[in-house]
Amino acid sequence: MSIEALNLEIYNCKKCRLWQGAKHGVPGEGPLNAMVMIVGQNPGADEDELGRPFVGRAGKYLTKTLLEFGIKREEIFITNIVKHISPKNRKPFDDEVRACLPYLIAQIRIIKPQIIVLLGASAKETPRIDGIEYVQIIHPSAAMRFTKMGEKFREQVAGLAKRLQQN
Ligand code: SF4
């Protein structure tokens, strides 16, 4: 399946209840030959408004921190476990995650990243696929709020940058 066909399915998807409160589906974005994929948990209000992932405060913080360590966001495919916003930004329910996971798996199969970076709680829900390296880092929204987590987040992004230099 092409990424365009997959995106269209996501825009029209009603496989769980989340589409009902959403303005836009947020499939994710980035180059199809991306070496790195970043996976968050769910789109927030800014993402829902624009139909794009990680464009709110946390997304800007993530983009800025990646760049500080020489990682360009436009070279990464960024997406979420579920593709529609959840009410009051709550954690997606298990049945919503289950309903939406086939889209993430299809994206992984299309992009074929070498590394998948899991942000915060998305680590528990993302399926592991042989041959892909998984790196877990603190979610940027937590890193922005708590100094210690912010320091750890920077260390983790620095580690990722170092790992990418080895390729
Ligand atoms: S969150 Fe996923 S499964 Fe649920 S309606 Fe949106 S695209 Fe479909």
Per-residue pLDDT at 167 exceeds 90: no
CA of 105 to the centre of ligand 1 (A): 14
Predicted TM-score (pTM) of this structure: 0.95
Buried b (16+ CB within 10 A) or exposed e, 35-69: ebbbbbbbbbebbbeebbbbbbebbebbbebbeee
Tell me, using a 6 A CB cutoff, whether residue 11 lines ligand 1. no
CA of 133 to the centre of ligand 1 (A): 26
At 166, is the pLDDT very low, low, confident or very high (cuts 50, 70, 90)? confident
Per-residue pLDDT at 112 exceeds 80: yes
Contact in structure between 137 and 48 (CB atoms under 8 Å) = no
Residue 119, H or E segment: strand 115-119
